[in-house]
Homo-oligomer: A and B are copies of this chain.
């Protein structure tokens, strides 16, 4: 755990240059706008430790799979988030001396991420080897208003000298993924254009043939007046184009470089129009100018914050934590493009590849439901609907037939691209996360027409998967689900993981509900779906009913708890507190087999089920299982603490709920797991939001009604959050005196607050 960042309500602040933490800071201070983004790499040359990373949403590369021993069924490739052409480069040389923070004396270094405005500012004073001192302030943002524009205001003041300076402004597409399996570069040059004042490189990805045009233009001003460079050389080489400017820095006078970038992809423009469009976007950017672009950008952020801000009074660390989570989520995914999804690292790193995990359905959709118009969550559902044919193909590759749909564990385009058999093939609960998300969406929004439009087709596919995946045990006289990995990935290839069995059976029941609903409300569409999917209701639905009624659920009657999976109680039942600190985290200290045969749980599993299906169980069942399983849980997944925070809150374990909250909220800011340098844990950030709103706030939607049942953590004076709920915005503020519930927009509404109906 690192605590080098200053606490502040709206800002993340780093004071002093921390070369050892630079890669962590590069992740934490990342910028994005849903379309593109990049790590907080320095604009100037830096010879110290850095992980350079720029990313363009939806652009990926299918890297050849690397495995030790090939297992039949493994995908041929692993879709990598692509390190994309970089537009941030501003290299400065004074004479022959390069400005390089790793090499010169740096004072007053300060890096600030202004989350309110979506602006990264970095300032410092650097003294070169010959004693010349420069004062630099760099401001950067990726426009939320114009998704294809990025802008930098880079200010240099020669503090104690006047001299010639060489400034290189470039576009660099000669980049490589650190996680490239065979050290291959994934980009090829299509074309480039460089002239005085402008440079554009169009690069294409190998195999996937995405084209990305990245361009830049710039203007200069000295002491507030626009100036020209004394000389400009155009520099070009393979996958690279730029301008080299000769300037004179005059002592005490501020020279400002405005660098404007345009990033356009063939996902949004015809390939043959990319160059022309790129010029147009650059023209627009430079004409609008930095200040106006920033103003428009800030307006969008203002609006976003009005939708989804959470305030916490009396606990700056907690306040900063929740805002950081909301900020990152918002700049990762804006919900405007249904082809996109939420990568586990967003625009902050390349690790884990792929863009889409079940995290989206289990963690992110509730966040977007609560904080954005319903189309955002809907787009995430439609994304999976569009992948249904691929999910059917994935199932087929594994031997399933007749339209069974097996959603991938990791994907870019719907195809599976993960390759550990115990996850890829066996962590099957994820396919039902798609079903659960449909229910979640409909429950929250009331938009049950979604079932007819898209939902039912997906549900039929998934139910077909379960009907083939569950098998009959003559010995148990029940249906069983063998050879799975549950949410707790510290168990592999187990039989009858309770969560998996429960979710499978629930899916079959919910599909029946959806069938009945669509049949009743839209019989024409129902016939259409029957015919499109060759659905044989009489035969298939009765089989589904049989399975859901006769599903086997492992339980331990003596202890009165659910059994995580068959055989779990043969283990030595230890507690996390019995472990020596030197053994933690287990996944770095223990060999895999030892983890597997221990009782220790990576993340909520039985408890994940009790969280998702809370209305199906008595609170005492939850208490018994929480008291039993939580002490064995090491929370080595970023997705674990938030669920526990919500459950602890429900059980009235206030202190525990607060502890779990802090752990999830400041995971990246404090680098709890010592892995933030690889990127931030974007999807688990939605869980942080949930732990406030569903945990402390006790927010639920039951039968279409909003319920609030909050408590105030002891350390806080108050907290508030807003909810988008069925075309209203509701603000909830919780203080020691009670709960304020305000309808900020939309029609009147009855809300259940602490079990009492309140009219808003």
Nearest CB on B from A383, distance (A): 25
* A421 CB, nearest partner CB in chain B, Å: 5
Within 8 A of B (CB), among A444-489: 471-476, 480, 482-483
A237 on the B face (CB < 8 A) = no
Query: What is the interface size of chain A, counting residues whose CB is below 8 A from a CB of the partner?
Result: 51
B482 touches A597 (CB 8 A): yes
- Which residues of the other chain, B, contact A131 by a CB distance below 8 angstroms? none
Which residues in window 579-615 of A have CB below 8 A to B? Answer: 587-597
- With beta carbons under 8 angstroms apart, the residue of B69, B425, B495 that contacts A591 is B425
- Chain B contacts of A182 at CB under 8 A? 182
Verify A493–B495 contact, CB threshold 8 A: no
Q: Does A637 contact B (CB under 8 A)?
A: no
A652: Cβ under 8 A from any B Cβ: no
Interface centre among A68, A69, A421, A425 (most CB of B within 10 A): A68
Indicate if A65 sits at the interface (CB-CB under 8 A).
yes
A534: interface (CB < 8 Å): no
Given A182-B182, A397-B591, A399-B591, A68 and B66 touching (CB < 8 A)? Answer: yes
Chain B binder among A137-145, A159-167, A569-577: A569-577
Q: Which residues of B contact A591 (CB under 8 A)?
A: 71-73, 397-399, 425
The listed residue (B419, B472, B595) touching A572 by CB distance below 8 A is B472
Identify which of residues 483-533 in chain A touch chain B, using a CB-to-CB cut-off of 8 Å: 483, 492-496
User: CA of A120 to CA of B398 in the docked complex: distance in angstroms?
Assistant: 45
A567 within 8 A of B: yes
Question: How distant is A170 from chain B, measured CB to nearest CB, in Å?
Answer: 32
**Taking chain A's interface residues, is the majority helix, strand, or loop, or is none over half, making it mixed?**
loop
Could you say which of A182, A425, A567 has the most chain B C-beta atoms within 10 Å of its C-beta? A567
Report if A287 contacts B (CB, 8 A).
no
User: Which of B397, B475, B589 makes the CB contact (< 8 A) with A570?
Assistant: B475
A68, B420: Cβ atoms closer than 8 Å: yes
- Chain B residue contacts of A65, Cβ below 8 A: 68
CB–CB B566/A566 < 8 A? yes
Whether, in the assembled complex, A276 has its beta carbon less than 8 Å from a beta carbon of chain B, the answer is no
Residue A67 CB within 8 A of the other chain: yes
The CA of A471 and the CA of B572, in the complex, are separated in Å by 7
Beta-carbon contact of B569 and A475 below 8 Å: yes
- Do A426 and B593 touch (CB < 8 A)? yes
CA distance A594 to B483 in the complex (A): 8
The closest CB in chain B to the CB of A494 belongs to B493
Residue interface mask A606-643, B partner, CB < 8 A = 1: 00000000000000000000000000000000000000
Residues from chain B with Cβ under 8 Å of A567 in the complex: 482, 495, 566-567
Query: Closest Cβ of chain B: how far from A330's Cβ, in Å?
Result: 30
Q: Smallest distance from the beta carbon of A502 to chain B beta carbons, Å?
A: 17
Q: Considering the chains assembled together, what is the distance between the CA atoms of A555 and B162 in angstroms? A: 89
Complex: how many Å from CA A595 to CA B483? 10
Q: Which residues of A contact B (CB under 8 A)?
A: 65-69, 71-73, 78, 182, 397-399, 419-422, 425-426, 471-476, 480, 482-483, 492-496, 566-567, 569-573, 587-597
In the A-B complex, the 9 residue pairs with the closest CB atoms: A73-B591, A425-B593, A483-B597, A71-B592, A482-B597, A473-B570, A398-B591, A67-B68, A68-B419
A and B contact pairs by CB, cutoff 8 A, 23 listed: A66-B66, A68-B68, A68-B419, A69-B420, A71-B592, A72-B590, A72-B595, A73-B593, A182-B182, A398-B594, A399-B591, A425-B591, A426-B596, A473-B571, A475-B570, A480-B570, A482-B567, A482-B570, A482-B571, A483-B593, A493-B493, A495-B567, A495-B570
